[in-house]
Structure 1
Amino acid sequence: MAPTHDGLATGGGFGGLGSRSPMSPGKVTGWLRDHTPTITGNGVRKAAASIALPLIPIVSFVAIWHFLTENEVVAWLRFNRMPTPAAVLDGFTTRLGSGAYYADLFASLQRILLGFALAAIIGIALGTLIGRSELARKTLRPFIEIVRPIPAIALVPLTILLFPSSEQGIVFITFFAAFFPVVVSTIHAMDSLPKVWEEAAQTMGASRWTILRHVALPGAMPGIFSGLSVAMGVAWICVVSAEMISGQYGIGYYTWQAYGLLDYAGVVVGMLSIGALGLLTAWVVELIGRRVNHWLPRAQR
């Protein structure tokens, strides 16, 4: 249909309001009012709170840090040698212009992703096996509980002997650190599933594989992702420690080198970089968990 002088078609436009005659300005205004999403005061307050609340502890921390270092306070703790926030900002700006900084970030991130992915795959598979099989539980659970208390960083001397390169050793330490939170959380998640779910599926003729795929694993995913979140944090602690001891590059290696050169501002830059990477990876794990566990009421928030 031909457009009218005000640019609106005489039919089919805006949900068919003007199917027989051109829409009047009053109808256009009414349609826009009914179909334009409104932003309530409550929504604005929630959006503002989500931005402002995380800034409160950060700003408070930086303000206290600035006061203590600028005045070189010496009490139970000595702040006269600590770098000021301005010095750290200058050091961070300098590092941003260096290609070596991005190479260190990429190296640490690559190690984390590889070690964490291996821990997630093997840990979930083994935890599911132990959680679903009494034979596997009796065979493997005692060995896991014996090895689990060993700190991953204590394996650095052995990894130097076992692996042909420090890169493989650091990835193994990262895997070792992240593995146990994943496998233990998976076992507990399987144990906590309501028996009625499986019994109901069995009465409808579901096979063991069908129950595992459509009942056990989806039901255990909230607990599994809790373990994955813990594992990511532990993995970062251990990969940085391993880089400090045996690495040749990486953000942990950079931080340790800065300490050796008495570049304390560089040490803080390294620490903040580790925190930023940890925040990013933890957010990714949480986002994936919400997508996987979309059936949970809290996941819809």
Structure 2
Amino acid sequence: MSQSNATMNLTMYRISSWLKSPKPYLMFIGFGFVLSFWYFSVEVWKLPRFQDMPALTEVIEEWFSKDPYYGLSVYTPEYYKHIGISLRRIAYAFFLATALGVPLGLFLGWSQKLREYIFPLFELLRPIPVLAWVPLAIIMFSGSETPVIFLTFLASFFATTLNTMLGVESIDEEYSRAAYCLGASRWQTFVHVVVPGAMPFIFTGLQISIGVAWFSLVAGEMVSGQYGLGYIINTAYIMVQYSQIIIGMITLGLFGYVTSALVRVAGDYMMQWRVRELALGGD
């Protein structure tokens, strides 16, 4: 209970420090600048390059309308159905990428021999764009759901594995030698030295992973999905419903931001020593 209270106090300290810093206010200024530029360039200045862009007021009215012109707003059940399906796909893909990518990255960083066998193949496949996998995904997996989850999983898996491997490689060998000198076995050194030492890199990789999972999801839903935020964006483009494109993009950004923040919170919880270090450092 005391440990939980300590974690809560440290978290509150970081939040308080963040609120006292200029960061949140600069963030809102940044949002205000973008929204103001959007409003003035489309509705006031009517710049040539923005003549086909939906106006800010048009998007807001459509998004929060009880009777939306294009049939999709915060008041329509279909909007939440698309969000729910995208979140479910992200959850499956991210879980698989974490469950497979973290152990693989740990062993690639820990075993030189395993890295020599697997890493060249890993580096050969990693640069291939998600869209290039679409035909194979449709051929390999039946139905419309599994190919989208596979495409979402790919980029997330590579990001998780690579960052985990780099985390293991970043650990000073002196720590492992000290563990061996104290009588630890190779497996005990791996569990008690390598895994905790790689944790900051792992959670950095997971934050990158959840981000790339979202844009991989959109690519998959645009090609073979029947529901989801990517499907909304693609369908709205085909039907020339530009305000729906913006609504889909903003919704995607909001949920991407929230899921990334949840990964950071999980990282703080699992690395309480690092939370304490950052809090005391006033970061």
Q: Secondary structure at the match of 2:240?
A: coil
What corresponds to 2:37 in structure 1?
64
Task: Choose between structure 1 and 2: higher helix proportion.
Answer: 2
What's the offset of the Cα at 1:157?
A: 1.2
Distance 1:130 1:118 in 2: 18
Offset from partner CA, 1:23-70 (integer Å, 9 cap, x none): xxxxxxxxxxxxxxxxxxxx6994484542321111111111110111
Which of residues 227, 230, 249 in structure 2 aligns to 1:271? Answer: 249
What's the offset of the Cα at 1:128?
A: 1.1
Larger Rg: 1
What corresponds to 1:298 in structure 2?
278
* 8 Å contact kept, 1:65–1:84: yes
What corresponds to 2:118 in structure 1?
140
Distance 1:48 1:262 in 2: 43
What corresponds to 2:10 in structure 1?
none
Are residue 288 (structure 1) and residue 266 (structure 2) matched?
A: yes
What's the offset of the Cα at 1:187?
A: 1.2
Offset from partner CA, 1:204-251 (integer Å, 9 cap, x none): 111222211111100111111111111111111110111011110001
What's the offset of the Cα at 1:71?
A: 2.6
Counterpart mapping for 1:154-193 below 5 A: 154-193=132-171
Question: Sequence identity of aligned pairs in percent?
Answer: 35
Q: Over aligned residue pairs, what C-alpha RMSD do you find?
A: 1.7
* 8 Å contact kept, 2:18–2:24: no
What's the offset of the Cα at 1:146?
A: 1.0
Q: Secondary structure at the match of 2:272?
A: coil
Are residue 81 (structure 1) and residue 61 (structure 2) matched?
A: no
Q: Secondary structure at the match of 2:131?
A: helix
Counterpart mapping for 1:82-231 below 5 A: 82-94=53-65, 95-231=73-209
Distance 1:162 1:45 in 2: 48
Distance 2:238 2:54 in 1: 15
Distance 1:139 1:45 in 2: 45
Offset from partner CA, 1:141-197 (integer Å, 9 cap, x none): 111111111112211111111111121001111111101111111111111111111
What corresponds to 1:9 in structure 2?
none
Distance 2:263 2:243 in 1: 30
* 8 Å contact kept, 1:290–1:299: no
What corresponds to 1:23 in structure 2?
none
TM-score between both structures, scaled by the size of structure 1: 0.81
In structure 2, the CA distance between the partners of 1:248 and 1:72, relative to structure 1 (3 Å rule), is farther
What corresponds to 1:34 in structure 2?
none
What corresponds to 2:28 in structure 1?
55
Higher relative contact order (CA 8 A, sep 6+): 2
What corresponds to 1:27 in structure 2?
none
Query: Which consecutive unaligned segments of at least 5 residues does structure 1 have?
Result: 1-42
Question: Number of residue pairs matched?
Answer: 257
TM-score between both structures, scaled by the size of structure 2: 0.86
Q: Give the stretch that moved more between structures: 78-87 or 272-281.
A: 78-87
Distance 2:20 2:110 in 1: 44
* 8 Å contact kept, 1:72–1:79: no
Counterpart of 2:184, as a letter, is: A
In structure 2, the CA distance between the partners of 1:97 and 1:155, relative to structure 1 (3 Å rule), is same
In structure 2, the CA distance between the partners of 1:200 and 1:45, relative to structure 1 (3 Å rule), is closer
What corresponds to 1:20 in structure 2?
none
